[in-house]
Structure 1
Amino acid sequence: MPSSLFLQSDIKNPYSIYKTMLDEHAIYWDETNKIWAIYSHEYCTEILNSTNVHIPIINRDNEQKLNEYSLKIINHLLRLSNGIQHEITKEIAMLLFSNMKSIDNNQIIAELINNGLVENKIDWVNSLCKKLPVLVILKSFGFKQNDCDFFLEKIELLVKIMLPNKTTEQVQSINKITEDIYLIIEDHLTSLPFYLPLLNKVCESYKISLNEAKTIFISNLIGLFIQSYDAGRGILSNSLLQLLAPENIIAKKNANKIQIQKSVIETLRFDPPIHNTRRVAISDIRLREIVIKKNDPILLVLAAANRDPEKFNNPMKFDIERNNNNENLTFGTGGHMCLAKHFSIHQATEALWYLLENYPRVKILENNTQYEPMINARLPKNIWISLL
């Protein structure tokens, strides 16, 4: 049987593997990697909603030797929290999202495209996808331009704080930037009128200290940057590939914004940026006749679940009118569902709408997309497009 863990850069078509596993081994013990791999929509959903699983702990006992500020960030992120800490960090993350100001997305998109143009061509990934989501959040919270420039320069390094296994060089690089990032955000948050009232509200609600609440706020604003970079980059990239695919007639028929949004949502099902996520059982779990034992690691192959024929009719076809496309699991479900879901869908819709409205003859210049060497995410390295 194939390994459940592989680099996306090494596999031309992972969906053929997922189809085989859905047909033959929807629940599979990967003996080589000592991990349960779950492929079906039904059982991925059951695990995601289960109270008998936790997010795996990264950097237990600080074996990675992260510094004070790196530890503050990683130990307080919503994405990595369980139990009551998850409740607190989720509320704080939602409060942060609710206090983002509305800004002119089109102006930011236009500037990024113009800055990235090379003889009427642009690398969509590096010029826009890696910058737009993070920049929108920064601008929405009123960060100064020099701070925006600093974060855009460092974000690709910062997201490596989420890696379960980091090299010594990666840890050293992360430790070099986290203090600056942490202190910039701390200083900026204190200037925002909503910050102190929200701090006091959280402290009163959960009986935690002011310093603890501050750390969670700062860390989870950093977490929003990380989430928007991870999810936003992939959605913007993969949605463009699907929208401009030769067999897709949407872009050729003067698509309206509703159709583009439907295309983005179907891309999240059909070709998602995040292919798998991990959990660990905190007690025995029974799926069919199989028992996942306490402390067993679990790999949820969300990209396979999104093409499960038991859930989606004709799942190998890209169809924006399928009535349950939004039931994809790309952003998870239940208590740990990614809060960046609606933000990311909106950003991708606005960017693609702007692109088609202003460059109706846009086309992809390469047919052989190369992907980053990652296990959990399928992210294009480059997408060169012509704007003529």
Structure 2
Amino acid sequence: MAIMSKVLFLQSEVTDPYPLYATRRAQQPVSWSPEDHVWAVYGYNECTALLQHPAAMIPPQHTEKNQALNEAARMLVARLARVANPPVHPVLRQSVMGLLAQLQPLAIDAMLSRLLGASKEIDWVDTVCRKLPAMAVMQGLGFTEGDIALLLPQTEPLTKVMLPEKTAAQAKEASDAAESALAIARRHILAHPLLRTLAQDQDALDTHAVNLIGLLIQSVDAGRGLLGNAMLQALRHLSAGATPDRKTCEQLVVETLRFDPPIHNTRRIMADDVRLGGQVLQRGDAVLVVMAAANRDPAVFERPEQFDPVRTNNDKHLSFGTGIHECAARHFSVALATQTLATLFSRTRVRLMPQDIAYAPMVNARLPQRMMLALG
């Protein structure tokens, strides 16, 4: 239990973090951790205020720790909307919105057929969750099967670009993946009739290529986690053999985002002094915003520890953030998870096999490592 005294801990080492969140939220919703040198924010109102505050900035990415990256990887770091601050952030976010506007309807049934084959027992995480979100982005944007086959293995190495501390091996892996992915993304944008209109010059082409790759990076943890956690909650709370319709699946997905979100926290650094929850966060202070704790704040959600898909305010969860950095792909993510669950449950009976669910060794995300399902 020594780890529980820390603000920063690996989700793999905690059976259930929510009692800890509840205790800290009740005792002090904004608290300083001398051990981790970071403020932690647990209350719903406090998290909302912090995420919306103009002085709460994304921690700077342009550091000497990225000098080991090649030019392509450094371009990703510099132009990804998700890690940018004003004044450049609005321009980069517009690039993301332009890409999302071009996404075509998802052929989830065909993708599931391709991934599942005739299997009767599968690891849902490895077979579907690690692949389908990125496949959906690429198919939705019209990538060829050949380019999807080239890019799909690069998605997890690309996430290493975002690591604050990188080993030499991680930097090389991220750099190689970035160089390959950028070349494919640029070529695809120029060849695609609609996407090509977004790239008026080389600078615009690079920005859109980078943020297209950003959608793939986001699919790795957030997309994988939502599919995994939503399936887990669905099988724990649906009647055996149930075939939920699309509306029911959407309710399950939205409540999962509140009750069992894949991303538990995000980080900010203060650009100015701010008073929050009776505390003064000073310029330069690091902040951990624990959205998963806010999602179970009893001041906002009645019976927060109960999984209730028909709760009237489930969509008030903070799992996609809020403010200028609210996840641009939130509607796509919900639609993807909803359609995937609805399609699978309509095709076959799904059963969670007896097992202990272990979680990935991550601080910011709670993602099942493996989830064995019986189909049919």
Pick the TM interval, shorter chain.
over 0.9
1:272 paired residue among 253, 258, 261: 261
Matched, 1:369 2:357: yes
Q: Which runs of 4 or more aligned residues in structure 1 lie more than 6 Å from their structure 2 counterparts after TM superposition? A: none
1:1-388 aligned at under 5 Å gives the runs 2-114=5-117, 117=119, 120-200=120-200, 210-245=201-236, 248-249=237-238, 252-360=241-349, 362-388=350-376
TM-score, normalization by structure 2: 0.96
* 1:138–1:182 distance in 2 versus 1, CA, 3 Å: same
* 1:251–1:222 distance in 2 versus 1, CA, 3 Å: farther
Q: Is the Cα–Cα contact under 8 Å of residues 96 and 208 in structure 2 kept in the other structure?
A: yes
TM-score, normalization by structure 1: 0.93
* 1:288–1:232 distance in 2 versus 1, CA, 3 Å: closer
- Aligned AA (1:73): L
The whole-number CA distance in structure 2 between the counterparts of 1:23 and 1:367 is 33
* 1:35–1:106 distance in 2 versus 1, CA, 3 Å: same
Deviation at 1:255, TM superposition (A): 2.0
The whole-number CA distance in structure 1 between the counterparts of 2:110 and 2:19 is 41
Percentage of matched positions with identical amino acids? 37
CA deviations on 1:211-241 (whole Å, 9 max, x unpaired) are 3222211100000111122211000000010
Helix, strand or coil at the partner of 1:262: helix
Residue aligning to 1:204: none
Deviation at 1:184, TM superposition (A): 1.0
Residue aligning to 1:207: none
The whole-number CA distance in structure 2 between the counterparts of 1:324 and 1:368 is 31
The whole-number CA distance in structure 2 between the counterparts of 1:122 and 1:220 is 32
- Aligned AA (1:216): T
Deviation at 1:313, TM superposition (A): 0.4
Deviation at 1:59, TM superposition (A): 4.3
* 1:225–1:272 distance in 2 versus 1, CA, 3 Å: same
Q: Structure 2, unaligned stretches of length 5 or more?
A: none
Q: Is the Cα–Cα contact under 8 Å of residues 198 and 204 in structure 2 kept in the other structure?
A: no
- Aligned AA (2:177): I
Q: Is the Cα–Cα contact under 8 Å of residues 258 and 292 in structure 2 kept in the other structure?
A: yes
Deviation at 1:251, TM superposition (A): 6.1
Q: Is the Cα–Cα contact under 8 Å of residues 366 and 383 in structure 1 kept in the other structure?
A: no
Compare 273-282 and 54-63 and name the one that shifted more.
Answer: 54-63
Q: Structure 1, unaligned stretches of length 5 or more?
A: 201-209
The whole-number CA distance in structure 2 between the counterparts of 1:313 and 1:366 is 31
Compare 161-170 and 229-238 and name the one that shifted more.
Answer: 161-170
Q: Is the Cα–Cα contact under 8 Å of residues 269 and 284 in structure 2 kept in the other structure?
A: yes
Q: Is the Cα–Cα contact under 8 Å of residues 29 and 42 in structure 2 kept in the other structure?
A: yes
CA-based RMSD of the aligned residues comes to 1.5
Deviation at 1:63, TM superposition (A): 4.3
* 1:192–1:18 distance in 2 versus 1, CA, 3 Å: same
The whole-number CA distance in structure 2 between the counterparts of 1:143 and 1:368 is 38
CA deviations on 1:80-114 (whole Å, 9 max, x unpaired) are 10102110011110000101222422111121111
The whole-number CA distance in structure 1 between the counterparts of 2:230 and 2:317 is 15
The whole-number CA distance in structure 2 between the counterparts of 1:5 and 1:275 is 11
Count how many residue pairs are aligned between Structure 1 and Structure 2.
373
Compare 365-374 and 73-82 and name the one that shifted more.
Answer: 365-374
Helix, strand or coil at the partner of 1:75: helix
